[in-house]
Amino acid sequence: MSIKSEKVKKRIVSGIQPTGNLHIGNYLGAVKNWVELHENYDAFFMIVDLHAITLDQNPEKLRKKTLEIAKIFIASGINPDKATIFVQSDVKAHCELAWILNCTTAKMSDLKKMTQFKDKSLKGGTDNAGVGLFDYPVLQVADILLYDTELVPVGEDQVQHIELARTLGRRFNSKFSETFVIPEHSVTKEGKRIMGLDDSTKKMSKSAKSKYNYIALLDDEKTIRKKVMKAVTDSKNGITYEDDRPALKNLINIYKLLSNKSISEIEIKYKGRGFGDFKKDLADIIVEFAIPLQERINSISDDEILEILDKGAKKANLIAEKKILEVRKKIGFLR
């Protein structure tokens, strides 16, 4: 491929925290979209360990999860020769730019509005939450702005953070002259917000209290079947996709996204049939997706992954270093 056609590709950047169990919400809301997009974009996917430590982490587990997420990316179909896969903390410029943005553009009032901070600090109260958790969105903004990112493919819960990237990017540009590309977000229609299987009013979450909230990508067959059969539905009859049936709507979305059948095809297939039949087939579909994925994950060695992450970090550093130098000059650092 010529340098010219390489440059024409738009840049996408996204990340996932190496915490908890990656679930089908993460896959359908983010990773699946990345697999499709990375063929036609200049893609950077990172494992955001600096974000993970905004909450307490067990160091050994954090290392293990970081490798696991990288394996999941590859096993899901992201080609490491096409996309740059790297660990956030391998690129020091992320912390540096976050600090500079903290001082030059980010306001307390910007961060006070962020819902993720409110949710995550709920238990201990905001006064007891770590400063890093409060500043989390600015680090995410740095992740995005460092790479002249045009598009950020994420689930709906992240849109607020991408808006912040636009705000801080614009503020910096007007204060210090044109420096950052102003990014847009990309969310998928049905996958953007997969709801909990035990409670369709809340999103499926890695940190949910009950394991019946989510289906982890690494759940075994028996567990997947049990979780699907236990998923909450409603007291109406039939399999129909309607706003006033949020629990069933969520299950149909999962069915649709994993089977590539349309919603009307699904409704027609289950006409006159009940939840039992539908759930059994949905469990089959999830098992057929997850078990081969797990086999692919298990076939990748730690050494192979470390090599991919080394290569990714080198490539990411080249771009990030250039941008941070430009920023340092503009704000008045000596070199």
CA distance 131 to 109: 15
Terminus-to-terminus CA distance in the chain, angstroms? 35
206 interacts with ligand AMP by CB under 6 A? yes
Count, residues near ligand AMP per rule CB under 6 A: 17
- Closer Cβ to ligand TRP, 51 or 227, answer by number: 51
Phi/psi-derived region of residue 20, left when phi > 0, alpha when psi is between -120 and 50, beta in every other case: left
Amino acid letter, residue 291: I
Our answer to whether residue 120 is catalytic in this structure is: yes
Q: Which residues in the 282-301 window bind ligand TRP by CB under 6 A? A: none
Among 53, 138, 151, 204, binds ligand AMP (CB under 6 A): 204
Q: Which residues in the 82-141 window bind ligand TRP by CB under 6 A? A: 140
- Closer Cβ to ligand TRP, 106 or 144, answer by number: 144
Among 143, 150, 198, 219, binds ligand TRP (CB under 6 A): 143
Catalytic residue among 206, 211, 226, 269: 206
Contact code string over 28-57 relative to ligand TRP, x by CB under 6 A = --------------------x--x------
- At which residue do the structure tokens 């970090």 appear? 313
Contact code string over 30-69 relative to ligand AMP, x by CB under 6 A = x---------------------------------------
- At which residue do the structure tokens 């289950």 appear? 270
Contacts within 8 Å (CB) and 24+ apart, 224-230: 224/283, 224/286, 224/287, 224/290, 225/283, 225/287, 227/197, 228/197, 228/279, 228/282, 228/283, 228/286, 229/279, 229/280, 229/283, 230/197, 230/198
Stretch of 22-30, 37-45, 55-63, 244-252 contacting ligand AMP, by CB under 6 A: 22-30
Stretch of 1-9, 171-179, 200-208, 281-289 contacting ligand AMP, by CB under 6 A: 200-208
Amino acid letter, residue 255: Y
- Closer Cβ to ligand TRP, 152 or 324, answer by number: 152
Catalytic residue among 120, 227, 249, 279: 120
CA distance 187 to 193: 9
Question: Kind of pairing, strands 184-186 and 42-47?
Answer: unpaired
Our answer to whether residue 206 is catalytic in this structure is: yes
Q: Which does 219 bind (CB under 5 to 8 A by kind): ligand TRP, ligand AMP, none?
A: none
25 interacts with ligand AMP by CB under 6 A? yes
191 interacts with ligand TRP by CB under 6 A? no
**Shortest gap between Cβ of 119 and ligand AMP (angstroms)?**
11
Strand ordering across the sheet containing 11-16: 84-87, 42-47, 11-16, 151-153, 184-186
198 interacts with ligand TRP by CB under 6 A? no
Q: At what angle do helices 302-331 and 59-76 cross, to 10 degrees?
A: 100
Our answer to whether residue 249 is catalytic in this structure is: no
Among 67, 101, 146, 154, binds ligand AMP (CB under 6 A): 154
CA distance 84 to 79: 9
Q: Using CB under 6 A as the criterion, which residues of the chain lie in contact with ligand AMP when the complex forms? A: 16-17, 25-26, 29-30, 154-155, 157-158, 191-194, 203-204, 206
Residues with a catalytic annotation lie at: 120, 203, 206
